[in-house]
Amino acid sequence: MTSLIRENKIIIGLIIGYFLIFSSLSVWRHYTFQTQTWDLATFEQSFWNTLQGKIMFNNFEGKNHLAIHFSPILFLLLPIYALWQTPENLLILQTAALAIAALPLYLLAKKILNKNWAIFISALYLIYPSVHWINLFDFHEVPLAIPLIFSSFYFVTKKKYYLASLFLILTAMVSENMIVAVIFMGLYFLLFDHKHFGLTVSLFSLIYFLAVVQLIMPALGGGLIRLDRYAQFGTTAPEIISNVIFNPSLTWQTVATSQKFFYLTKIFLPLLFLPLINIKTLILLVPGLLQNLLTNFEFQFTNFYQYDSILIPFLFIGLIFAVKKILDWQINKLILMILIAASAMVSFLWQSPLSPFNFPTAKFFNSRTKTFQEILKLIPANASVSAHTNLVPHLTHREFIYMNGDEKFLVDYLIIDSQDLFGFPDQQSFDQYLNIYLRSDSYQAYLIDEQYYIFKKIF
C-alpha cells in the first residue's frame, strides 16, 4: 500500500488538494447564505424527509423527487447523510465525487498513453472551469456520474466487463438523461472493439430508459417534465424528435446562435478543441450537446451549472484518444503539452471562479451573513416557513418550508428580503406579494435593517 501511494503520490496530492479547496469553498458558500432553494434545499429536504418516512419528498417540487428526475443512486448516499444530516454533508459528498473522478481518469489515460500524460490530463480535469462551477453551485445528482463514467470506460479498456457493467448500472441510476448517455456509450463500444458488450449495454439501457419514462416516473406522478424547455419543437418527445430531424431550418435556428457558439468555445477551449479531432469519441458527446444546444433555456448553455456533467467525462475521454492520435503523427510531445497547458490556463483565468479575475470575494465576505444568522434564531424548529431563497436551505428540517411566493397556506413565519426580487417576474408582482402581508390582520410584521421583513402569524 505504501509503495502504491508513493508511486501515485502526485495524482493523490492533486485530488486531496482539490477536495480541500472546494469542500471549504462549498461549505463557506452555504455558510454565507449563497446556496438556494433550487437545488440544495430541494435535495436536502428530500434526504431529510426520507429519514422521516416520506420517501424523497420535498415541498418545492411538491412530490417525490424521483418523479421529477429518476435518481435511485441517491439512496446509496442516504446512509452517509444519516450520519450527519446537514446541507454541508451533501456539498462535501459532491466535492468528493468530483475530486475522486480524477483517479479513474488518471488510470484510463495511463493505460492509453503513459503516466506523465495521465498526470497532466488529470490536472487539466481538476482545473477545468465547468467542474469548478458545478462544484460550487449547490448540490445535484448528475455530477455523481462523472467518476462512474470514467471508471466504466477504464474497465472496458481493461476488458473487465463485470466491473464495467457495475459502473454503467450506477451511471444509469444517476438520472434519466444519464441513461441516454449509457445508451450512447453502448453504441460506442458496439462500433469500436467491444461489439457484444456494447450491444448488451445499449439494449438493456434502452429497455430501462423506456421503463423509467413510460412506467416508473408516471406511476410516481411525474415524467419527462423538462420537455417544456424544447417547446419550439413540440410538446411531446416524439414530436420534438421529429421536428429536430425533419425541420432542419428550425434546428439550425435554435443551435446557431452567438450564445451557443460562445458556450461551445468555453467548453472546448480548455482542451485546445482536441476532443473534436477524434471522430470516434464524438458519438459520446451527442446526448449532452443535444440536451444543451436544442433548448432555449439559457442556464443549460452557460457552463456555470450542472448541465455540463453529461459532457465533461466524454470531453476528457475524447481528449485522451485525440492526444494518442496526434502522438501517432510524430508530433513533438513537449510542444503539444505546452499548447494544451497554455489553452487550459487561459481558460482557467478567463472562466474559473477560482481565477483572481473572477473570485467572488464580495459574496464570500458579505454583511448579510450575520443578519441572516440572527433571523434564523427567531424561527422555531417546528414552525411552517416561507423564506427568501438563500435562507431556505437553512430551514429544510421541518414539515413545511417554501420559497417566497410558493407557500400553499398561511404559514407561521415569512421572511422577505424587500430588496431582492428573486422568484418574482418583476417589481410589481413582488410589491403586490409583499403588500398582501403588510396589510394582513393575520400577521405581526417586524423590519430588520430597513430591508428584511419577518411576518409572524397571529394565533
Closest CA to 396 of 171, 60, 28: 60
Whether 243 and 378 share a structural domain: no
How confident is residue 359, by pLDDT bands cut at 50, 70 and 90? confident
Helices 74-83 and 87-100: crossing angle in degrees, nearest 10, is 120
Tell me, yes or no, whether 356 lies in a domain. no
* Residue type (1 letter), 296: N
Alpha-carbon span 393 to 130, nearest angstrom: 23
For residue 145, pLDDT beyond 90 = yes
Is residue 334 domain-shared with residue 426, that is, in the same domain? no
Question: How far apart are the two ends of the chain, measured CA to CA in Å?
Answer: 64
Are 246 and 299 part of one and the same domain? yes
374 plus 248 within the same structural domain: no
Please name which of 300, 383, 393, 375 lies closest in space to residue 58, comparing C-alpha atoms. Answer: 393
Report how far residue 244's alpha carbon sits from residue 431's, in angstroms, rounded to the nearest whole number.
Answer: 41
Residue carrying C-alpha cell 455540463: 308
Region 392-404: mean pLDDT is: 96
Please state the domain count of the chain. Answer: 2
Report yes or no on whether pTM surpasses 0.85.
yes
* 3-class DSSP assignment, residue 409: coil
Domain that holds residue 108: 2-351
Residues 220 and 310 placed together within one structural domain of the fold:
yes
For the residues 164-174, what does the mean pLDDT come to? Answer: 98
Query: Are residue 160 and residue 231 in the same domain, yes or no?
Result: yes
Sheet of strand 443-448: strand arrangement = 401-403, 385-387, 413-417, 452-457, 443-448
**Same domain assignment for residues 135 and 190:** yes
Domain match, 295 and 253 both: yes
Considering the domain boundaries, does residue 250 fall inside one? yes
Q: Residue 1 above 80 pLDDT?
A: no
| In a domain? residue 360 | no
Among 19-28, 86-95, 297-306, 344-353, the range scoring the smallest mean pLDDT is: 297-306
Q: Does any domain span residue 363?
A: no
Residue 238 shares a structural domain with residue 117? yes
Look at the chain and count its residues.
Answer: 459
d(CA 409, CA 383): 13
pLDDT at residue 136, as a whole number: 94
Q: pLDDT grade, residue 237 (50/70/90)? A: confident
Residues 6+ apart with CB under 8 A from 299: 305, 307
**Residue 365: pLDDT above 80?**
no
Q: 164 and 44, same structural domain?
A: yes
Give the pLDDT band (50/70/90) at residue 362. low
The three cell numbers locating residue 151: 471508471
b/e per residue 391-416 (b: at least 16 CB within 10 A): bbbbbbbbeebbbbeebeeebbbbbb
Q: pLDDT: is 366 or 442 the higher one? A: 442
Q: Is the domain of 109 the same as that of 49?
A: yes
Work out the percent of the chain whose per-residue pLDDT is above 70.
99
Looking at residue 361, its pLDDT comes to 65
What mean pLDDT, rounded, does the chain reach?
A: 93
Are 347 and 374 part of one and the same domain? no
Q: Could you tell me if residue 42 is inside a domain?
A: yes
Amino acid at 350: W
Q: Considering the domain boundaries, does residue 214 fall inside one?
A: yes
Per-residue pLDDT tens over the stretch 419-442: 988 889 999 999 999 999 999 989
* Of the residues 351, 383, 401, the one at which a domain ends: 351
434 located within any domain: yes
How far is CA 143 from each of CA 41, 95, 140, 158, 409, rounded to the nearest angstrom? 17, 9, 7, 24, 35
With respect to residue 361, please indicate whether it lies within any of the assigned structural domains.
no
Domain boundary among 351, 385, 420: 351
